[in-house]
Amino acid sequence: MARFSANLGFLWTELSLPEAIRAAKRAGFDAVECHFPYDVAPEDVRAALAETGLTMLSLNTRPGNMSSGEFGLCGLPGREEEAQAVIDQAVAYASEIGAGAVHVMAGKALGEAARTTFKANLRHAAAVGGAAGVNILIEPLNSRDVPGYLVGSVTQAAALITELELPNLKLLFDCYHVQIIEGDLTVKLEHLLPMIGHVQIAAVPDRGEPDTGEVDYRYIVNFLDGLGYTGFIGAEYKPRGHVEDGLGWLEQLR
Active-site hit among 51, 82, 96, 139: 139
Chain-centre distance of CA 97, in angstroms? 17
Inter-residue contact 233 to 249 (CB < 8 Å):
no
Closest to 207 measured CA to CA, from 2, 4, 10, 8: 10
Active-site hit among 70, 236, 244, 251: 236
Q: Is residue 139 annotated as part of the catalytic site, yes or no?
A: yes
Separation CA 19–CA 24 (nearest Å):
9
Q: Is the dihedral of CA 155, 158, 162, 164 positive or negative?
A: positive
What are the C-alpha distances in Å from 231 to residues 31, 73, 221?
Answer: 11, 28, 11
Inter-residue contact 104 to 169 (CB < 8 Å):
no
Closest to 229 measured CA to CA, from 204, 192, 176: 192
Torsion of CA 64, 208, 141, 23, to 10 degrees: 50
Separation CA 154–CA 137 (nearest Å):
13
| 3-state secondary structure string across 94-135 | HHHHCCCEEECCECECCCHHHHHHHHHHHHHHHHHHHHHCCE
DSSP state of 20: H
| Residues marked as catalytic | 139, 236
